[in-house]
Structure 1
Amino acid sequence: MAGEVESSKALSGLLNGLAQNAFHGHSGITEELLRSQLYPEVPAEEFRPFLAKMRGILKSVASADMDFNQLEAFLTAQTKKQGGITGEQAAVISKFWKSHKIKIRESLVSQSRWDNGFRGLSWRVDAKSQSRHSAQIHTPVAIIELEFGKSGQESEFLCLEFDEVKVNQILKKLSEVEDSISTLMQAA
């Protein structure tokens, strides 16, 4: 078992499989599949505790969204505790986390959202081409398009049109907010 578990390539594959299952929703990656593909010589009763240990470490690292200093401290502690991991395993876990941290974090954030999220904003200044009153034709307007949606679904768009008066009102409100924030920051 020790020689098989020490294999960096197999451990990297195991971490990938665990991440696919736990964070990316690939339920077809089972314990038996991982064992048969990566550790075929290891009996199931020996593989199961090793798998549980690696799953626990990966979940701890991901749930804390560890930066690289925290990761190194955590892995060092894991190598020093009885029944922990080896230095080679710690190096493989560290390398894995460095290359997969962003994707795992994005997946966890996406899974934790119940409602639509803000995806983007575009804006432009245009001239009004139609109006009930001829005096308003060719006046400048700000057109703002907001994009909302859930991961894996089509976006919904909200289009807003502001004339010069509304734009000035918004700018005034934003200025008031900025002044309030500055006042609060100076008081702190």
Structure 2
Amino acid sequence: MAEQSSKSLSGLLGGLAQIGYYQSSGITEQMLKDELYPELPQQDFKIQLEKMGGILRSIASADMDFNQLEAFLTAQTKKQKGITLEQAEVFTKFWKAHKVKIRESLINQSKWENCLRNLSWRVDLKSQSRYLDQLNTPVAIVELELGKSDQESEFLCLELDETKVNQLLKKLTEIEESIGTLSYTN
């Protein structure tokens, strides 16, 4: 009976991950109940779903490492109306298998705008120009690939002369210094 209970919980966690983190439209809460807990009354299933879903959300939102997970699950087993040791083991196995994928999903869900996918650059010499003094001057060609994970990329190509490159480097240095003052350095 305990093995069946562990399999059902494992399936429930997988289903909750599909619904909440992997955006799978083919899985519903009712389907999980029908497949995994057919004899359980609807109200009891709702309680089980909320309890296990809440624990999974806590683990995922904290992006727990395995030491944190162990401490958290141990605390959950000691709570009144908490989880059993067998259920804690199922959570541990589940988290080992899904941690990276759930983390990536949460990161992608938190992006509002395009992100930088790739950057390439080269330095060329101008071979044509309206002005003779600009011939054979170095020019930096920067290509940025921008996009969201679920969309096609957009490409932005920039041509920068020496002055613009120096301005860009100065701005990047300012950004780096700002980040350095805001971050915790030990």
TM class by shorter chain equals 0.7 to 0.9
Moved more, 133-142 or 71-80: 133-142
Partner of 2:50: 52
1:92-140 CA-partner distances (Å, limit 9, x unpaired) = 1112112212222222222222222222211122232332134433433
1:30-179 residue pairs with structure 2 within 5 A? 30-171=28-169
CA–CA separation in structure 1 for the residues paired with 2:176 and 2:19: 45
1:77 aligns to what SS in structure 2? helix
Q: Is the 8 A contact 1:62 1:105 kept in 2?
A: yes
CA–CA separation in structure 1 for the residues paired with 2:164 and 2:119: 18
Aligned residue identity for 1:54: M
2:48 aligns to what SS in structure 1? helix
Inter-CA distance 6–89: structure 2 relative to 1 (3 Å threshold): farther
Inter-CA distance 74–159: structure 2 relative to 1 (3 Å threshold): same
Q: Is the 8 A contact 1:6 1:88 kept in 2?
A: no
Inter-CA distance 63–180: structure 2 relative to 1 (3 Å threshold): closer
1:10-21 residue pairs with structure 2 within 5 A? 10-21=8-19
| TM-score with structure 1 setting the length | 0.80
Inter-CA distance 134–105: structure 2 relative to 1 (3 Å threshold): same
Partner of 2:5: 7
Identity %: 67
1:54-103 CA-partner distances (Å, limit 9, x unpaired) = 11111111122222221111100011112111112111111211221222
Inter-CA distance 154–69: structure 2 relative to 1 (3 Å threshold): same
| TM-score with structure 2 setting the length | 0.81
- Structure 1, unaligned runs of 5 or more: none
Inter-CA distance 62–162: structure 2 relative to 1 (3 Å threshold): same
Give the number of aligned pairs. Answer: 184
Shift of 1:178: 6.8
Say what the alpha-carbon RMSD is for the aligned residues: 3.0
Moved more, 54-63 or 142-151: 142-151
Inter-CA distance 108–129: structure 2 relative to 1 (3 Å threshold): same
- Structure 2, unaligned runs of 5 or more: none
CA–CA separation in structure 1 for the residues paired with 2:182 and 2:32: 55
